[in-house]
Amino acid sequence: MFHFLSFTVALLLLSGCSTRGVGTYKQQSTLKRHSKPAQENLQLDNNTAITDALYEEYMRWEGTRYKFGGNSKQGVDCSSFVQQLYFNALNVRVPRSTKEQAKIGRWIKKSQLRSGDLILFKTAYNKRHSGVYLEHGKFMNASSKYGVTLSNINNPYWREKYWQSRRVFEY
């Protein structure tokens, strides 16, 4: 009986770790989990390396709760998350506020989005939201509802709120 009980407890503990979702985008198998290149060796002309570095940094932040004005893993807002994501994953400095982020780089069409591009949304009359594009319609952001998560730009909410995209660096 003791062996059966021990086996059951071990099985429950192991199964609890395997059901972790990925924000609002539940297809975790699509996440690339390659080791992150050292920042000094990361080539910003390689789409795969950029995508991998962004995914790896996202995994460090995934699930962090949203906190207006926050800038740590205890709580972060969208513009701080974007700022830290660019710096930690790509060694690229961007401004802290969404208003200032909307002025950097160059404007690009939504159809031209590629990994590492900044995406901006108008969520209310005087409110803006920022995220970083990954691939296949997915972008990373700190959502006030879900915290740090992956979202889909083709989701009706984000499609309606889309404002502009910016190419922060060229590759």
3-state SS track over 61-117:
HCCCCECCCCEECCEECHHHHHHHHHHHHHCCCCCCCHHHHCCCCEEECHHHCCCCC
**Phi and psi at residue 66, in whole multiples of 5°?**
-80, 140
Catalytic annotation, residues: 78, 129, 141
Do the beta carbons of residue 130 and residue 119 sit within 8 Å? yes
Q: In this structure, which amino acid lies at residue 114?
A: R
